[in-house]
Amino acid sequence: MNHPAELAVYDYLARATKGETDMAEDIRKHVAADVEAALEKQFSSGPRDKFKLRMSNIGRPTCQLWFDKNDPKDKAPLPPHFLMNMIIGDIVEAVFKGLLRAADVEFKDNDNVTLTLSDGTKINGEYDMVMDGKVDDVKSASPWSYKNKFASLEALAQGDGFGYIPQLVGYATAAELGVGGWWVVNKANGEFKYVDASSVDTGEVLERIEATVSHINEDKPFERCFEAIPETHYRKATGNLKLGSECGFCSFKHKCWANLQTLPAVKSTAKEPPMVDYVFVDPQYLEDNSDAA
């Protein structure tokens, strides 16, 4: 806990828990207005599937973007709870900003920006806030992501399948401001922290953004960005191949991998084995499972 605003919010919450302070009416109304705007955005913005490059997707793998642009009909339908998850994220952002205001933390609220690339392509997006001259984003995360993915900038960079780093760098560059970081809220228990991204190599990230946009705009042939990885059980190879975490949430994984099977982990002895996306399963495991059934 190093960011001054982080300390200020924790102090405010500690005092509020003891009944020593309240939240001003104008702040409560601001939170309510933000939630109302989020509901309007989620429910009244029309179809979601029309493809365009935007700040929120320019950091995603080019293979996923290729499918989004060229083969949208094969996109797996979003589950109904996807919308609920998006709304939860919007509510978390609205409430967290309310806490910042209640803790007397100064920041500039969200704004629309445009990143102009070297080929003239314009990428639009809306950042969450500016604090101390740097762009910050608010993210709600699962307990696992909170602990592991958002452990640090370096940890996130190891598996940034959603493109959070290019997104933040894009916002900051477009706004001609510094790169700040992420305010991350654990959706399970409400704990939060600040993950500093100010040390990011903005030049390298912008080069990746340029390369991604060029690849998509020039309609280059499809290239898979990732290969299947060997499955291990207690550090021993099972002989099976599965998708890596980068592909797990991709809506085109079944189109990309024709033989994909999503099965309970074949070597697991747990009562409820985790589900695994298998590209290849040794027939012996399928026979074993069939016999067990």
Q: Taking a C-beta distance cutoff of 8 angstroms, is the pair 214, 119 a contact?
A: yes
CA distance 68 to 250: 10
Q: Taking a C-beta distance cutoff of 8 angstroms, is the pair 251, 76 a contact?
A: yes
140's CB contacts (< 8 A; 6+ apart) are: 88, 89, 92, 93, 184, 185, 187
Q: What is the pLDDT of residue 288?
A: 60
The SS3 call for residue 36 is helix
pLDDT along the chain (293 residues), means of 10: 92 98 98 97 79 95 96 91 95 98 98 96 97 98 97 96 97 98 97 98 98 95 95 93 93 94 92 94 75 50
CA distance 115 to 55: 8
Q: What is the pLDDT of residue 136?
A: 99
Q: What is the pLDDT of residue 289?
A: 58
Q: Find the distance separating the first CA and the last CA of the chain, reported in whole Å.
A: 51
Q: Taking a C-beta distance cutoff of 8 angstroms, is the pair 153, 196 a contact?
A: yes
- Give CA separation, 14 vs 43, 96, 99, in Å: 35, 15, 12
Q: What is the pLDDT of residue 172?
A: 99
CA distance 160 to 61: 10
Point out which residues pair with 131 in neighbouring strands.
134
Q: Which of 112, 133, 151 minimizes the C-alpha distance to 198?
A: 133
Point out which residues pair with 129 in neighbouring strands.
109, 136
pLDDT tens-digit series, residues 97-144:
999 999 999 999 999 999 999 999 999 999 999 999 999 999 999 999
Which sequence spans correspond to the domains of the chain?
A: 4-217, 229-292
Q: What is the pLDDT of residue 284?
A: 84
Q: Which fold is adopted by the domain 4-217?
A: Lambda Exonuclease; Chain A (3.90.320)
Residue 81's H or E segment, with its range, is helix 80-102
**C-beta neighbour count of 117 within 10 angstroms:** 18
DSSP 149: G
Q: Which two structure tokens, joined as six digits, stand for 245?
A: 């975490």
The SS3 call for residue 210 is helix
CA distance 261 to 275: 10
The three state secondary structure string of 90-155 is: HHHHHHHHHHHHHCCCCCEEEEEEEEECCCCCEEEEEEEEEECCEEEEEEEECHHHHHCHHHCHHH
Q: Taking a C-beta distance cutoff of 8 angstroms, is the pair 247, 277 a contact?
A: yes
Q: Taking a C-beta distance cutoff of 8 angstroms, is the pair 140, 185 a contact?
A: yes
